[in-house]
Amino acid sequence: MSRRTYAAALDDVLVPMGFKRGERSWSRTVGTMLEEIGLQKSQIAGTTANLWSKDLATEELLRQAIPWKRPLDLLPSVYRIGTLMSGNDRWWKNDPDGPIELAEAIKTHAPSFFEARRNLEDQARCFGRAEPRWKPGSTASRIYLALTLYRMGEMEEARAVLQNPPKTAPASWLAQAESVRKWIECASEAK
């Protein structure tokens, strides 16, 4: 009897949920949200899965605001399944039950993960709306937050989110944040 593969186990769970399989990932679109689960393999650590989603309407605004940057490079957050399970990273290695355990973890945790990011208010919360200041490494989240707030009609808050970036942020990130801030200014005036 052959051992079950991780991909086959994830197919059994994800295809009935409406996901389509790529090479090592499964994705679906719900409304304007692209939701994806990617299988990650490491010779050292084993196998795990990463989950992420992005709002395609917000990404279109991002393309307009930063026309020289590929939006995927700015993906604000990717979560490993172990983080959703227990708060700790989790990899399966040389575990005959690994494929079934990983598939069950996805079946249990992925639906609520994706659902909690589908509306604009939830997206703003996930991007750190409650954070009054920039955190180290938060430029991508601040950019997505500003554009999400713009879509919500919160123009003042959208502009304020990108003010006073840390001087320690890389110049390329500061240029992107400034480009988005200026785009929001112009788009707000045009409304």
Picking from 87, 115, 143, the residue at the C-terminal end of a domain is: 115
Do residues 70 and 129 both lie within one domain? no
Do residues 100 and 42 both lie within one domain? yes
Do residues 14 and 105 both lie within one domain? yes
**Residue that the structure tokens 């899965």 belong to:** 49
| Average pLDDT value over all residues in the chain | 90
Least Cα distance to 38 among 70, 94, 81, 86 occurs for 81
Do residues 61 and 149 both lie within one domain? no
Domain residue limits at 21: 6-115
Do residues 128 and 76 both lie within one domain? no
Are 85 and 105 in contact, with CB atoms under 8 Å apart? yes
Do residues 91 and 31 both lie within one domain? yes
Whether residue 146 lies inside any domain: the answer is yes
Whether residue 63 lies inside any domain: the answer is yes
Do residues 17 and 90 both lie within one domain? yes
Q: What's the total number of domains in the chain? A: 2
CA–CA separation, 96 vs 104, rounded Å?
Answer: 14
pLDDT in tens, 50-95: 999 999 999 999 999 998 876 555 565 789 999 999 999 999 998 8
Do residues 71 and 127 both lie within one domain? no
> What pLDDT score was predicted for residue 155?
93
Do residues 78 and 154 both lie within one domain? no
Q: What's the token pair of residue 103?
A: 């598939």
Q: What's the token pair of residue 176?
A: 């992107």
pLDDT in tens, 106-136: 999 999 999 999 999 999 999 999 987 888 7
Picking from 115, 141, 170, the residue at the C-terminal end of a domain is: 115
Picking from 88, 115, 142, the residue at the C-terminal end of a domain is: 115
pTM for the complete prediction? 0.87
pLDDT > 70 fraction of the chain, expressed in percent and rounded: 94
Whether residue 1 lies inside any domain: the answer is no
Do residues 44 and 134 both lie within one domain? no
Do residues 132 and 110 both lie within one domain? no
Query: Which range is most confident: 25-29, 161-165, 177-181?
Result: 25-29
